[in-house]
Structure 1
Amino acid sequence: MSDKKDKDAKPKKKGGGKMVMILGGAVAMLAIGGGGAYGLVAAGVIGGGHKEEVKEDNRPKLIKKGEEDPYAPKAKEGEGGEGGEGKEMEGEGGSEYRTLYYSFADDFTSNLKDSDALVQLSVACSTRRDYRVMAWLKKHELAIRSALLDVLAETPEADIQNSQGKDRLQKRMTAAINKVLTQTEGFGGIDAVYFKSFIVQ
């Protein structure tokens, strides 16, 4: 009887081994086929042509001299240039990009850090980007003024006694304006801050 059991057991093992190989091959083919199908779907070849959308860079662009700024206010009839301020006259040398300036309407007055001294400034800033940056400056002037007053209040009196300290203050003010614009509009764009007047009392 044991011989009969051994004979019956051997064919089962052989058949079971073939079945495992067939099943393993089928699983491998499905995995390869599934991976290939996934790759084709991801590439947009099959599956309704679904492709991953690429976001367009919608940040303000640098504007070359003589190039039209699509965001500049249109001149009124009978007036030339951007915003009716007359035609821009660009020089031949220097930067290849046009520069726009924005002057803050009111002066900035603040105490200085750990001092009884007061500073009063008239401030402007510049951008070589398109006119959207100018519109953002006007739109967010209140938040920008607040940030600039914070910068002034954190400035020690010794820092404004020499040109190196004033340069550092200008850089800190530029960074503060860009931070506000980045938080509110997603992009800064200010290149520099300028002092139109600077009085310490």
Structure 2
Amino acid sequence: MSDAPETPKKKKKGKLGRLLILGFGAVLLLGGGIGAGLFFSGALGSSKAHAEEVDPNKPQLVPRGGEHGEGGEGDEYESSYQPLEKEFTSNLKDSTHFVQMGIAVGTNYDARVLENVTKHELAIRSAVLMTISETEEDQVFTTEGKEQLQRRLVQTINHVLEEKTGFGGVGNVYFTNFIVQ
């Protein structure tokens, strides 16, 4: 007698377990399908929206070969460079030393970025001098410190350009000379 009641209970548990596993699997498949559909429709929709967002009044990336426009991921772009007219001389933060440097800017955008740099050079020079004067003495003696200064100068110049023109576009700052005294 004890064998008879146990057998039906095991079968019920087995059927119930199978139903739960099948139901859970169906929910996972359905959810995964919906998620994948939303992901791919969002990805395709965002690229269409991005293509529509290109403002012809703002500088555009210049792919190698000279055609204007936004390129896809992995494309290589032309680089343009422009030195700033005069060198910069500034004291360093909390130091008796000063630094004298010449800089050039680089961009992968069309000529409008460099035209904006020339047009707003006075404001850029002022902001660059402020950034240099906030630089610690230790930074100018190491390569790592100079690289940090370059990144800060890129941010500074782009900030000025964004304020004045609504678009930055400077990708890097290069030292054309660098003297610490």
Map 1:93-104 to 2 at 5 A: 96-104=76-84
Pair 129,151 (structure 1): closer, same or farther in 2 beyond 3 Å = same
The structure number with the bigger radius of gyration is 1
Root mean square deviation of aligned Cα: 2.0
How far, CA to CA, are the matches of 1:167 and 1:55 in structure 2?
33
2-structure distance, mates of 1:189, 1:178: 7
CA displacement 1:28-78 (0-9 Å, x = unmatched): xxxxxxxxxxxxxxxxxxxxxxxxxx87623211001112469xxxxxxxx
Deviations 1:156-194 (A, max 9, x none): 101111011000000000000000000000010000000
- Aligned residues with identical type, % of pairs: 46
- The normalised TM-score by structure 1 is 0.59
In the other structure, the counterpart of 2:60 is 61
Question: The residue matched to 1:183 in structure 2 has which SS?
Answer: helix
Asked if 1:176 is matched to 2:156, the reply is: yes
Residues 144-163 of structure 1: matches in 2 within 5 Å? 144-163=124-143
The answer as to 2:177 corresponding to 1:197 is yes
Larger helix fraction of residues:
2
User: What SS is found at the alignment partner of 2:106?
Assistant: strand
Q: Is residue 132 from structure 1 mapped to residue 131 from structure 2 by the alignment? A: no
Runs of 4+ that moved beyond 4 A: none
TM (norm. structure 2) is 0.65
1-side partners of 2:114 and 2:175: how far apart?
18
Between Structure 1 and Structure 2, how many residues are aligned? Answer: 125
SS at match of 2:86: coil
Gap runs ≥5 in structure 1: 1-53, 71-93
